[in-house]
Amino acid sequence: MKRFTITTLILVLVFLSILMFYEPNNVLQEATNRYNAFFAPRILYWGTQGQDVKNVQWQLVKWKYLIGRVDGIYGADTYRAVRRFQAKNGLRVDGVVGPQTAAALGITLTGAAPASAQGINRRGDEYLLARTIHGEARGEPYIGKVAVGAVVLNRVRSPKFPNTVAGVVYQPLAFTAVADGQINLTPDKDSIKAARDALNGWDPTYGCLYYWNPATATSRWIWSRKVTLKIGKHWFGL
């Protein structure tokens, strides 16, 4: 019996090795999909459209937080209504509908993560932060990736910004990667590692709240910020 068990184990390991050798892309994609499904619950934010948004709007209208059309478009009125609902119900006021706000509204978001994953804020924040870093700082040196993650976390801690990672990332017009959809790209291993380093306390910016690329920045206001350091193509400031 023992010999049979060892032989079976060896055969299974050989089979898995062959599978990884001949189908690396399929295996990697499956692992990525599982990671995404577990650690990235559905989030509704400014600009999102669809039936989930309509469901949120219906509840907000029913409870008189929202006065207006139920059109399935997460715009300014819906954003403000969500914030009012969150403030009234003891939730984090960030204007973003994630698992907790959806539960308080009495709705289930399509594609939401399993209940067992919804309470793991550290891991959920890590993956969202990694997606932000990947969308905003691909091609930057590793320390520059960590710096972008640190800016997000510095905003979370600042009273000037929403007090959640999702609230900061999805704050209207805050990040180019959200506006152009690059936030939805699958982060690479460096972006995930950079997110972990930032969450573990590494802040190469020493408390900066802003960063921008001087070659592409279009906001006049950003030039009024005090530049404290430069990393790669990004300038960081307060």
Q: Among 47-51, 113-117, 230-234, which stretch is predicted with the lowest mean pLDDT? A: 113-117
β partners of residue 44 = 97
- Are 15 and 71 found together in one domain? no
Distance, CA of 8 to CA of 122 (rounded, Å): 38
Cα–Cα distance for residue pair 137/150, rounded to 1 Å: 12
Q: Which of 47-51, 124-128, 228-232 has the highest mean pLDDT?
A: 228-232
Q: Which of 75, 99, 117 is at the close of a domain?
A: 117
Q: Print the domain residue range for 74.
A: 51-117
CA 73, 77, 80, 86: dihedral to nearest 10 degrees? Answer: -60
Burial of 178 (0-12, 13-18, 19+ CB in 10 A): buried
Each residue of 84-103: pLDDT tens digit? 999 999 998 889 998 899 99
Question: Is the confidence at residue 65, as pLDDT, over 80?
Answer: yes
Do the domain assignments include residue 17? yes
Among 117, 207, 118, smallest CA distance to 156 is for: 207
The answer to whether residue 39 is domain-embedded is no
Does a structural domain hold residue 56? yes
Domain presence at residue 162:
yes
Residue type present at position 28: L
Given this model, what pLDDT does residue 173 score?
A: 85
The answer to the question of residue 35 being in a domain is no
Give me the sign of the Cα torsion angle 55, 58, 64, 70: positive
Q: What is the pLDDT of residue 221?
A: 85
Question: Looking at the DSSP assignment, which residues form a beta bridge with residue 235?
Answer: 212, 230
Same domain, 62 and 22: no
